[in-house]
Structure 1
Amino acid sequence: MIAAILRRLAVPATLGALAVTTQATAQVTPFNQAIAVAAAEDEALSAFYRESNFEPLWVGNDAGDTARREALLAVIGKASLHALPEGRYDTDRIRRMMADAKTVRDRGKLDVELSRLFLRFASDISTGVLEPNRVVPAIKRASPEDKRLELLRELSRARPHGFMDSLTPHSHEYTRLVRERLRLVDAIQNGTWGEPVQASRVEQGDSGADVIRLRDRLIAMGYLGRSATQVFDATMRRAVEAFQLDHGLQVDGIVGGKTREELNTSPSERLGSVLVAMERERWMNVDRGDRHIWVNLTDFHAQIIVDGEVFFETKSVIGKNVSDRETPEFSDEMDHMVINPYWYVPRSIIVGEYLPNLRRNPYAHGQLDIINSRGQIVNRGRGFSQFSARSFPYSMRQKPGPQNALGRVKFMFPNKYNIYLHDTPAQSLFQQNVRAFSHGCIRLDDPYEFGYALLSMQTDDPEGLFNRHLNSGNNTRVNLDQPLPVHLVYRTAISKPGGGMEYRDDIYGRDARILSALQAEGVPLETENTRLALSDG
């Protein structure tokens, strides 16, 4: 059996024979054999131990092995602070193996188990606990590759404690989310948010028990300084307005309806949003680009980010909350814009929305050309009643112009989901707080200015360049000299660089599914370790 495993691990045949016939003079010892057997079914582990000639990484007597053991157990001891499932790591079992490792074979098996434990933890903390697309199919991004063999190589050369710490996502957002998690756990355990507001409406000038409840909540959440007031005054109104702004609500300073609902949301519910945001941040533990486009679907805004700062921002409209219209999440690269675009109608819209009308009236939707496979416009007089959704042989498009469904410009990051950013003639939709109306693409409130901002990175006269093409009326492609990464994301909990949080509704219900999956993997909302960390901090 040992000889077969060694052959599978590509150990030279002479060493395999020696492993079976003798141990006194062979390089392959019982320790090596134990490692070979324990690592046999894992490609990365097998490759690493082959490279190191089956030397120990963890259980040797030198200072490096000791430091690696201590660093691994220390960092796993902080797993709860990162909302990771401690049960996956079963450190009690590992400690028992360490205590019971009496023979060299035991030590060989233990070395592999410690490597396996390290890889499991490293993957979870740096790339996420879950596989995104398995939980929510509309998340079209894979979690970052965890490069298991390279991790083991780096660990063998690095300072263990520093290397273990480096596995944590380095984004400022992740760090702030970890801190917010601790604050929310503290609020849950100590009941500092107090009682919810009962009255259906509370506004400036009011007094009584609900004003006191409102005051206490605003103080606990950080929107109001310490106060003993029992009257809803101007200071409290400003605090409510700040709360409304942070929660994507109409800013009117009145507590009622949606504002009351958000204000009464429990810290446990907010904690769930933060846990999901931490997992999502681990999924995007990659270089996002010094310049990139960031579209948070739940926030209904699109941003151009330059060196970590918002360079330009505009309102957006996203896909309707219907299964086949939700905007997916993915990252790609914007490389051009089209000014005065044609709108090529998606097949699903043609057969689902337009064909039934065309069957009744061939001249319906007259703003659209019906095109055959040779690119010719079809004579509508022949009618379309003979066609079904399956057999309809034509495509449809709308000419450039102010009433074009895409407006006067679209911004392209070619992808298989046929998603892009574009203008729209339906400007009234941007007056809504919740803007989920499209078939999946992302409409922009200020598309011209968005174009100017992009072109300002490659010309001294971005408005002139853009408007010359626009005013020509011609369908024109304008390439970006330096393509920009585009990230379509979905965050219901967003930290503020200056402190505090913003929250948005889980409009598609995706975060609820992710939270459920995290809890199924053993991620708790609060743990004893978190209490200890709070008391120590």
Structure 2
Amino acid sequence: MVATLAVSLDAPRAEAQMISGYAQAIAEVSSADTALSAFYAQRNYEPIWTGADDAARRAALFGALEMAGAHGLPAARYDAEGLRAQFAAVRSERERGMLEVAMSRAFLTYAHDVSNGVLEPKKVDSGIVREIPRRDGLVLLQGLVAASDEPMAYMHGLAPRGPQYAQLIKARLDLQRQIARGGWGATVPAKVLRPGDDGPAVVALRERLQAMGYLGRSATAVYDAEMQKAVQQYQFDLGMTADGVAGESTLKEINRAPEERMKSILVAMERLRWMNGLELGARHVWVNIADFSVRIFDNGKQTFESVTVVGQNQADRRTPEFSDQMEMMVINPTWHVPRSITVKEYLPMMQRNPNAAGHINLIDSRGRTVPRSAVDFAAYNARNFPFAMKQPPSDGNALGLVKFLFPNPHNIYLHDTPSKSLFEKEVRAYSHGCIRVGRPFDLAYALLALQTDDPEGFFKKVLNTGAETTVKLEKPVPVHLVYFTAWPTARGKMEYRRDIYGRDAALWSALENAGVELQLLAH
């Protein structure tokens, strides 16, 4: 409660001095913040936190700050205890003005964090080029005042509203409880376990699978059919080859501590906050880089899915994260070889053997094809090589027979590939950055289905011409390139993926440095 000042001045003078001291303090301490300064000037310095009628709004903010940790936010950053102490200690109108601004600053810091994230991701990883729709501070404050009848609902509505965010919060709480009960037990001391094996390592595997909810009650020390089935389900849930053998990669995942999974959940919550306010689209394409998958969703329902190959784990080849609009597909595409590939990969090959990569044409500055015999490759280097390279449409074209374009400055798109064997691998990070699609024709049919009654027939008719043809999508489709190593299924069950680029590890380190804590419960 705000302290009431005892004054001996006559009422008009006292009121004038009180208003002056309060308003002057607000003007001074908010001057460096454009949003705060404009907000209070527009209100003629009327309070929103420290007035007699502001109790509900104060309670809503303090309630939100007390729950900040549940959102995986750095609760200490908002200093709720310090603000409460200031309320108890205020003794002058100037102090009240300073407290008023301190409350608004805490609100804005919390509102920005919970609505659009704690971090600036580009500063953590240059491959996260997502544009974050940060909310304007003045708009946030005005919205809070407009919601004066339901300030708690307004605070609650700042966080992402999709079901996945709530499911991640619940999954994090479930892990907290599991850790308090002792986690998932001892790790499995083996390099590989197969059906028919027995002994202490199998017992450890049994107990760990039971603790994770994959195996019912059992006292067996033998790797039996039930255990094999449990391992297969675990592998399936983690996007691994579900062969029922607990090999090295499977045991590495099974032996991960629940604390590590919690870090993945907290990073996933941060990633969802970056996308809060972004319109996904009633129909949209969702590419999860860490899952090696592409999906189409129509009104929240998955209508297409395919495996993918993504960028290699090298600094200039990792697939970036961003959102854009898919506008067209090119059937029978020409591959215009990126300059970086031309000079870093093909030029050294052609210097050793002028006929290397002979299926790709050399193109001069006037667009003419140049015969290899006319070029002294040894005379050039990466800086002065004057030719471009392009591969005409064919079954062996590096882009396959179709590519899907969402024009962007990163030159990233989805495409077919003649290298089909890579889709059989468990970890599929082999491209130069673009996303290769395992079922490209089916993706084309799904995208064309909204603009033709016979999408397959239309596509094949164009394909059979052999000519490069651009087909525009009548309605552009939002495409989201994301990187989630923790994600809930439609039923709320958590699935995890490997951090192939080390991005989540870097993000967790940045969140931890910002003050985010695991918040483990007492045993």
Q: Normalised by the shorter chain, which TM-score bucket?
A: over 0.9
| Structure 1 residue runs of 4 or more that deviate by more than 6 Å after TM superposition | 22-28
Q: How does 1:441-456 map to 2 (within 5 A)?
A: 441-456=434-449
Distance in 2 (CA, whole Å) between partners of 1:86 and 1:346 is 46
Residue among 131, 149, 153 paired with 1:162: 153
Q: Alpha-carbon deviation of 1:242?
A: 0.5
Secondary structure of residue in 1 paired with 2:379: coil
Which consecutive residues of structure 1, in runs of 5 or more, have no partner in the other structure?
1-21
Report the residue type matching 2:119 in the other structure: L
Equivalent residue number for residue 349 of structure 1: 341
Secondary structure of residue in 1 paired with 2:389: strand
Equivalent residue number for residue 420 of structure 2: 427
Distance in 2 (CA, whole Å) between partners of 1:35 and 1:199 is 64
Q: Is the 8 A contact 1:131 1:142 kept in 2?
A: no
1:298/1:391 Cα in 2 relative to 1: closer, same or farther (>3 Å)? same
Secondary structure of residue in 1 paired with 2:457: helix
Distance in 1 (CA, whole Å) between partners of 2:126 and 2:51 is 45
Equivalent residue number for residue 514 of structure 1: 507
Moved more, 189-198 or 236-245: 189-198
Distance in 2 (CA, whole Å) between partners of 1:400 and 1:502 is 39
Q: Alpha-carbon deviation of 1:457?
A: 1.7
Residue among 64, 76, 84 paired with 2:65: 76
Equivalent residue number for residue 10 of structure 2: none
Distance in 2 (CA, whole Å) between partners of 1:356 and 1:207 is 54
Secondary structure of residue in 2 paired with 1:199: coil
Equivalent residue number for residue 380 of structure 1: 372
Residue among 361, 367, 384 paired with 1:391: 384
Distance in 1 (CA, whole Å) between partners of 2:489 and 2:213 is 13
Q: How does 1:171-182 map to 2 (within 5 A)?
A: 171-182=162-173
Residue among 88, 107, 110 paired with 1:121: 110
Q: Alpha-carbon deviation of 1:24?
A: 6.9
Equivalent residue number for residue 187 of structure 2: 196
Equivalent residue number for residue 19 of structure 1: none
Q: Is the 8 A contact 2:183 2:257 kept in 1?
A: no
Q: How does 1:7-26 map to 2 (within 5 A)?
A: none
Report the residue type matching 1:422 in the other structure: H
Equivalent residue number for residue 210 of structure 2: 219
Q: Alpha-carbon deviation of 1:27?
A: 11
Equivalent residue number for residue 32 of structure 2: 41
Q: Is the 8 A contact 1:354 1:365 kept in 2?
A: yes
Number of aligned residues = 507
Equivalent residue number for residue 415 of structure 1: 408
Report the TM-score, using the length of structure 2 for normalisation.
0.94
Distance in 2 (CA, whole Å) between partners of 1:138 and 1:256 is 32
Equivalent residue number for residue 8 of structure 2: none
1:361/1:224 Cα in 2 relative to 1: closer, same or farther (>3 Å)? closer
Distance in 2 (CA, whole Å) between partners of 1:106 and 1:404 is 71
Q: Percentage identity across aligned positions?
A: 50
Distance in 1 (CA, whole Å) between partners of 2:491 and 2:295 is 18
Equivalent residue number for residue 153 of structure 1: 142
Q: Is the 8 A contact 1:350 1:396 kept in 2?
A: yes
Q: Alpha-carbon deviation of 1:29?
A: 2.5
Report the TM-score, using the length of structure 1 for normalisation.
0.91
Distance in 2 (CA, whole Å) between partners of 1:361 and 1:257 is 41
Residue among 263, 274, 294 paired with 2:286: 294
CA RMSD after TM alignment: 1.7
Report the residue type matching 1:376 in the other structure: R
Equivalent residue number for residue 271 of structure 1: 262
Distance in 1 (CA, whole Å) between partners of 2:490 and 2:517 is 27
Report the residue type matching 2:95 in the other structure: D
Distance in 1 (CA, whole Å) between partners of 2:183 and 2:264 is 19
1:38/1:209 Cα in 2 relative to 1: closer, same or farther (>3 Å)? same
Which consecutive residues of structure 2, in runs of 5 or more, have no partner in the other structure?
1-12
Q: Alpha-carbon deviation of 1:116?
A: 0.5
Distance in 2 (CA, whole Å) between partners of 1:210 and 1:365 is 51
Q: Alpha-carbon deviation of 1:365?
A: 1.9
Q: Alpha-carbon deviation of 1:294?
A: 0.7
Q: Alpha-carbon deviation of 1:500?
A: 2.1
Does 2:308 align with 1:319? no
Secondary structure of residue in 2 paired with 1:472: coil
Distance in 2 (CA, whole Å) between partners of 1:461 and 1:211 is 54
Secondary structure of residue in 1 paired with 2:393: coil
Q: Alpha-carbon deviation of 1:118?
A: 0.3
Equivalent residue number for residue 10 of structure 1: none
